[in-house]
Amino acid sequence: MLFEAAERLPLLQVGQIYQKFECKGRSDGGIVRNVVRWSIENLLEEQEGATLMVSAKFDVLSKRNIFLQFEEVAVENIKISEQLQALIAPAILPRSFLSLQILQFLKTFRAQVPISSPERRSPGGLYYLSYLDRDMLLGRSIGGGGVFIFTRAQPLL
């Protein structure tokens, strides 16, 4: 869906897409974060201008089944382009307190929207897992969510 949007909107650039599992020391589940690096030409840094993150809890039901419960969507890590920085706070003029506040706000900005609440059930569901080898995993969503192929990458530092 993101790549289709990037084809229709020429200023949108989609960068890295990956998942991060946070379950060290646990065998019953954890948190999975779907991470998409993206940018808007001339406004944000190329390919790495911002991060879209969808977080979900997962519970291990068996060696081959997990249950996902999506919790939150967030936009963070905004890195504005040099052109936009120059527009907000030109280098040839003394930077005002307001322009510095705007730059700091953009640097630390994080917008998050909860997907689940006590009144409403979170999207998610049951996934069947098939390990094809030591580094490749096939995940099938029960209920029409699709088929996903995962490969193990080096741990992020």
Bridge partners of 19? Answer: 34
Judging by beta carbons within 10 Å of its beta carbon (0-12, 13-18, 19+), is residue 82 exposed, middle or buried? exposed
CA dist., res. 46 & res. 15, Å (int): 9
pLDDT tens for the chain, residues 1 to 157: 666 766 777 788 888 888 888 888 888 889 999 899 999 888 999 878 999 999 999 999 988 888 888 899 999 999 999 998 888 888 777 778 888 888 889 889 999 998 876 666 666 788 888 888 888 888 888 876 788 888 877 655 4
Tens digits of per-residue pLDDT, 78-99?
999 999 888 888 877 777 888 8
The answer to whether the beta carbons of residues 115 and 121 sit under 8 Å apart is no
Q: Which of 152, 1, 142 is nearest to 68 (CA)?
A: 142
**Domain boundaries of the chain, sorted by first residue:** 12-151
